Chains A and B, each alone.
Chain A
């Protein structure tokens, strides 16, 4: 386990860093199929941030775990699609080879660091484990590297806190430990699953700034999964809006805010308060997301859509390009796009 040079094929520098194509994930629960992800595609380049936006149940988190290969099968089945890292197909790799990518090439941090860190081991143990297992370092060397890591994520008096257990840290500090652990081996891709949702607003900003700084430092690709449009606005390069397991809209961040091309995105933008919109009424999206075990026919957003028409109940809209790099899965994408800002 000292090196992964043998198990990881040589990277092909010309291929995109991370390419997710037509990903489908299905859960089989008590004889019934629940389609959690229905065709997610995106590409991530080094140093770039792709935000995946969606409400809970939209499949964004499941998709991320599918990319990491963390889903248990059964009940989860990745039916279709591909996940390529510098051209190497990860889906279908035997677990032993897949494992060599985790932590080493792709890392992930989770929403709630208070449960995502093991409560019975010290923070130092959990950080050093990365170096002991992946790099074969001895106890002392791994420990020294763990202190460096903690300093890197700006945890004060790192050396002293190495021996503390996770519950002794504040929420923000715990999330820093998670980040440190994920970045220990300087991976190419970091998937951050709602990294700030469990934190106070002020701490959220600190963590996002830290992530951005580390991303620059390591020239890492970042997949940021969130339900919070505010978080995306600050850091995202491109954004994928997911609804009920499918891609609703895909666009550069700036375009999306300026000219959303899907009624769902418009609804989202209208429902959050923004600077300069004082006095404007906030409009929530009516209805609730569909039951993934019994999706509606046609367009999944149709039951809640203000401009649904007969065709929407019959035909699921394909992704259509409304502007360079800007796609929308709506039968009326062009018109919605044309309507301009919210």
Chain B
């Protein structure tokens, strides 16, 4: 078990380094002046450009630039925007909002997604199954922002069922609608994964054994089959965290939640490239960390993994 955890940790090191280097190389090392590029066609005063070039060590060789950048990142330095404001400070109070939103979405997709998946998995080929499959495919096919605007218009503005925007009503009320919108994609995948996995496991030999042991149907399904079926779902949750954070940029923009995603959203419109790069890099790092945790959790959930 511990060997497995250690090995996953060691494997994560090159991924962390490689992914950050990849971002860095794509943003700063391509031909042309990256600082000007990050501003788009927005005019930036020459002295600001010079400061930023210094700031990002663009006169050093690439790997040195990258090392200095990473060193800054490790100390919580995410760079500055064109007016010299620290990106880390701009984001400071916003993390709590994003965390609350992500948590709401995550609970929603996990609870409802698994429930729908079990419902469909137990009734394969019947109406419930078709309904869940069709509904989830539809949700996957509609971009999250279309879903967001539609939900905002109908549930928030027209029918006044939930707050349409902002955080005036606090958690959880203000976060319900954006959380549901943000979680809907993940919910669809969780439901489909649970359904397929459960339907497969219900045919497994050990489920027949559990029935032969004289256990109730609820126990056979709920304990023996479901526990095995949730293993791939847990793996998916790690991957899904990436979607969740990409979606947070969209959702916070639509529902006017003052989180990190909204900052990114606004910075894109304002052509504040350095803010986007700094914030998204942190989001990617969080994604990698979450995946590491999920990987380790996977080893705990599936005892066969830990011993190889």
User: Do the two chains touch directly in the complex (Cβ atoms below 8 Å apart)?
Assistant: yes
Instruction: Using CB atoms and an 8 Å cutoff, list the residues of chain A in contact with chain B.
Output: 65, 68, 70, 95, 99-104, 107-108, 110, 112, 115-121, 129-130, 133-134, 165, 167-168, 178, 181-182
New A-B contacts (8) at CB < 8 Å, excluding given A110-B208, A167-B307 = A70-B208, A99-B214, A102-B211, A110-B212, A118-B206, A119-B206, A119-B304, A121-B227
In the complex, chain A residues whose CB is within 8 Å of the CB of B228 = 118-120
Q: Does B219 interact with chain A (Cβ within 8 Å)?
A: yes
- The listed residue (A95, A120, A129) touching B213 by CB distance below 8 A is A129
Q: Which residue of A lies closest to B207 (CB)?
A: A118
Q: Is the CB of A112 within 8 A of B205?
A: yes
- The listed residue (A110, A117, A120, A130) touching B302 by CB distance below 8 A is A120
In the complex, chain A residues whose CB is within 8 Å of the CB of B216 = 99
Q: Is the CB of B212 within 8 A of A70?
A: yes
How many A-B contacts are there with CB distance less than 8 Å? 72
A296 CB to closest chain B CB (Å) equals: 31
- Taken residue by residue from 176 to 220, chain B's Cβ proximity to chain A (1 for < 8 Å, 0 otherwise) reads as 000000000000000000000000000011101111111111010
In the A-B complex, list the 8 residue pairs whose CB atoms are closest, starting with the nearest.
A103-B214, A102-B214, A115-B205, A118-B206, A165-B303, A116-B205, A108-B212, A116-B209
Q: Please report the C-alpha to C-alpha distance between residue A135 and residue B216 in the assembled complex, in whole angstroms.
A: 14
Q: Please report the C-alpha to C-alpha distance between residue A68 and residue B216 in the assembled complex, in whole angstroms.
A: 14
B233 CB to closest chain A CB (Å) equals: 13
Q: Is the CB of B303 within 8 A of A68?
A: no
Q: Is the CB of B212 within 8 A of A68?
A: yes
B132 CB to closest chain A CB (Å) equals: 21
B201 CB to closest chain A CB (Å) equals: 10
Q: Please report the C-alpha to C-alpha distance between residue A116 and residue B205 in the assembled complex, in whole angstroms.
A: 5
A197 CB to closest chain B CB (Å) equals: 13
- The listed residue (A100, A165, A167) touching B214 by CB distance below 8 A is A100
Q: Is the CB of A110 within 8 A of B219?
A: no
Q: Please report the C-alpha to C-alpha distance between residue A83 and residue B218 in the assembled complex, in whole angstroms.
A: 26
In the complex, chain A residues whose CB is within 8 Å of the CB of B214 = 99-104, 133-134
Q: Is the CB of A168 within 8 A of B307?
A: yes
Given A119-B303, A167-B307, A70–B211 Cβ distance below 8 Å?
Answer: yes
Q: Does B68 interact with chain A (Cβ within 8 Å)?
A: no
Q: Is the CB of B217 within 8 A of A102?
A: no
Q: Please report the C-alpha to C-alpha distance between residue A42 and residue B85 in the assembled complex, in whole angstroms.
A: 88
Q: Please report the C-alpha to C-alpha distance between residue A181 and residue B206 in the assembled complex, in whole angstroms.
A: 12
Given A165-B303, A165-B304, A133–B215 Cβ distance below 8 Å?
Answer: yes
In the complex, chain B residues whose CB is within 8 Å of the CB of A130 = 213
Q: Is the CB of A103 within 8 A of B227?
A: no
In the complex, chain B residues whose CB is within 8 Å of the CB of A165 = 303-304
In the complex, chain A residues whose CB is within 8 Å of the CB of B206 = 115-119
Q: Does B301 interact with chain A (Cβ within 8 Å)?
A: yes
A183 CB to closest chain B CB (Å) equals: 12
Q: Does B224 interact with chain A (Cβ within 8 Å)?
A: yes
Interface centre among B206, B212, B216, by most chain A C-beta atoms within 10 angstroms, is B212
A228 CB to closest chain B CB (Å) equals: 20
- Taken residue by residue from 214 to 258, chain B's Cβ proximity to chain A (1 for < 8 Å, 0 otherwise) reads as 111101000010011001000000000000000000000000000
B55 CB to closest chain A CB (Å) equals: 51
Q: Which residue of A lies closest to B230 (CB)?
A: A120
Q: Which residue of B lies closest to A115 (CB)?
A: B205
- The listed residue (B205, B217, B219, B231) touching A95 by CB distance below 8 A is B217
- Complex A-B: 11 CB contacts under 8 Å: A110-B205, A115-B204, A115-B205, A116-B205, A117-B206, A120-B231, A121-B227, A133-B219, A168-B307, A181-B209, A181-B213
Q: Please report the C-alpha to C-alpha distance between residue A210 and residue B214 in the assembled complex, in whole angstroms.
A: 24
Q: Which residue of B lies closest to A134 (CB)?
A: B214
In the complex, chain A residues whose CB is within 8 Å of the CB of B211 = 70, 102
Q: Please report the C-alpha to C-alpha distance between residue A120 and residue B209 in the assembled complex, in whole angstroms.
A: 14
Q: Which residue of B lies closest to A181 (CB)?
A: B213
Q: Please report the C-alpha to C-alpha distance between residue A155 and residue B231 in the assembled complex, in whole angstroms.
A: 30
Q: Please report the C-alpha to C-alpha distance between residue A168 and residue B1 in the assembled complex, in whole angstroms.
A: 13
- The listed residue (A103, A108, A120) touching B303 by CB distance below 8 A is A120
Q: Please report the C-alpha to C-alpha distance between residue A178 and residue B212 in the assembled complex, in whole angstroms.
A: 11
Interface centre among B210, B217, B228, B303, by most chain A C-beta atoms within 10 angstroms, is B303
A50 CB to closest chain B CB (Å) equals: 19
Q: Is the CB of B209 within 8 A of A118?
A: yes
Q: Is the CB of A167 within 8 A of B303?
A: yes
In the complex, chain B residues whose CB is within 8 Å of the CB of A115 = 204-206
B71 CB to closest chain A CB (Å) equals: 43
In the complex, chain A residues whose CB is within 8 Å of the CB of B231 = 120
In the complex, chain B residues whose CB is within 8 Å of the CB of A181 = 209, 213
B63 CB to closest chain A CB (Å) equals: 45
B216 CB to closest chain A CB (Å) equals: 7
Interface centre among A100, A119, A181, A182, by most chain B C-beta atoms within 10 angstroms, is A119
Q: Please report the C-alpha to C-alpha distance between residue A272 and residue B301 in the assembled complex, in whole angstroms.
A: 46
Q: Please report the C-alpha to C-alpha distance between residue A117 and residue B219 in the assembled complex, in whole angstroms.
A: 15
A128 CB to closest chain B CB (Å) equals: 12
